[in-house]
Structure 1
Amino acid sequence: MPWPEGLRGKVVVVKFGGNAMVDPGLQLTFAQDVVELWRAGLRPVVVHGGGPQISAMLDRLGLETRFEAGLRVTTPETMDVVRMVLTGRVQRELVGHINAHGPFAVGLTGEDAHTMTAVRRPARVDGRAVDIGLVGDVVDVNPAMVRALLEQDHIPVVSPVARGADGQVYNVNADLAAAALAVALDAERLVMLTDVEGLYADWPRSTEVIGRLTARALDGLLPGLASGMLPKMEGCLRAVRGGVRKAHVVDGRVPHAVLRSVLAETSPGTTVVPDAVTRS
């Protein structure tokens, strides 16, 4: 597929997560896709999750894994595991896969150079407030470090951990971190990898995927979404309302899903566009 010339020099933020993170073959094809974006003149930035790896380590340590409103309940002990797994294992593996193709990737976290600042995120389930612990919501992004890496032809790989103004370190949902970074970088695209084909129109009664919808339409759907899809679609909504031209949710189980979402005239999965946009 030919590369659209209009994308050269543009920033594409890719959130790496889901089954693609634990399947060795998909890890390799993801790294190939990211390098191919770089070679084509785009400026990819990767934000990764690590949910399965964090849960596995918590199980090994005998610590509870619990989710509320689609977000991991994060105690101080859990936060220690989150930092260790995200920056000490997942990030290093991903940087290694990308750098198998050349000296491209550089790892950092939201803590580094105050790239992301977060506050404690409130949560509600069925109308009641719930305590989800040290879970943060990004309230400020300083993209200077990431921009410097891009200008040096590097591929930033960012772990979603952020520090608050109070000095507390927070676990930030990777979908929402990717969206915040995409807005701060004035990204052309945001690509979210997940374990389903896209946003289903009438789940669980139907597996028909909504191919395209506006921010306003998505806003109306958010309250009824399943908890697993909620942060992804909330991130897409924040991104396009913050200036990102398109946000894609695609099936990361499909090899080369990232390239297909950026290159294809009609992206697989679900594409979210600003309200004023009706066609590609």
Structure 2
Amino acid sequence: MYSSWRLLNLSPNNQNSTSHYNAGTWGIVQGQLRPLLAPRVYTLPMVRSIGKTMVQGKNYGPQITVKRISTRGRKCKPIFVQIARQVVKLNASDLRLPSRAWKVKLVGEGADDAGGVFDDTITEMCQELETGIVDLLIPSPNATAEVGYNRDRFLFNPSACLDEHLMQFKFLGILMGVAIRTKKPLDLHLAPMVWKQLCCIPLILEDLEEVDLLYVQTLNSILHIEDSGITEENFHEMIPLDSFVGQSADGKMVPIIPGGNSIPLTFSNRKEYVERAIEYRLHEMDRQVAAVREGMSWIVPVPLLS
């Protein structure tokens, strides 16, 4: 495998291939066989590709400016926002450096960026993301409810879908790509399901349960409500929902299908409701994930993550 991986078709569209040479590769693409691969096998394609696309002969990339000190009572914008708006306008090929993808000039401060300022701003941006100063991330529902796993993990904010938000998610992807290329991990504590989506690994119900235990339990109780003696006659007395709406990861009640507000939830269609609710939750961050992957593709070969 180590010496012949280039002969394998690892495309996500390979599911229906009939070639004997591709037998079993779908398990690698889907993730079932990944734990069986040694690190030197699955990292080799990425390492070689990064090496071939590395900018040589430069210590740092383009210069950007950051203002951290407020003046005349005006509060500075978050560092993440300041840098994002500048970096997304740069040429992607200029950022593929082994160390500092860009040089930071601090407005009103005497520090010269010899590497420390770049690292400091990366740390500050991660703190802004996890403290809610920049609203791209939200705590997992398990964290809010103080139950289950991943209470210290974060999800992409599904409500952050404006053009400005998607631009910032793209920059977050650039940051992740820089972290991979420079071998300096970001201090971000994302939930496992987020990493799976970034690697195009399909999500399953257990992934949702790991971040929102109470919601999955609620859906299961609706699906098997007849076990509690509930019938069609007293269904709405026990279930507070009357239409195809469900809880988003950020706690808001949203239609789980187009026009869901006007589709009644009944005893007879509860199975469809549960299926639709799960499908919605497994894909509610798709736009944000796509924006992050677009940003990552500026810096690293994203298909190799899959």
User: How does the TM-score come out when normalised to structure 1?
Assistant: 0.29
Q: Between Structure 1 and Structure 2, whose CA radius of gyration is higher? A: 2
Higher strand share: 1
Structure with greater contact order relative to length (CA < 8 Å, sep ≥ 6)? 1
Higher helix share: 2
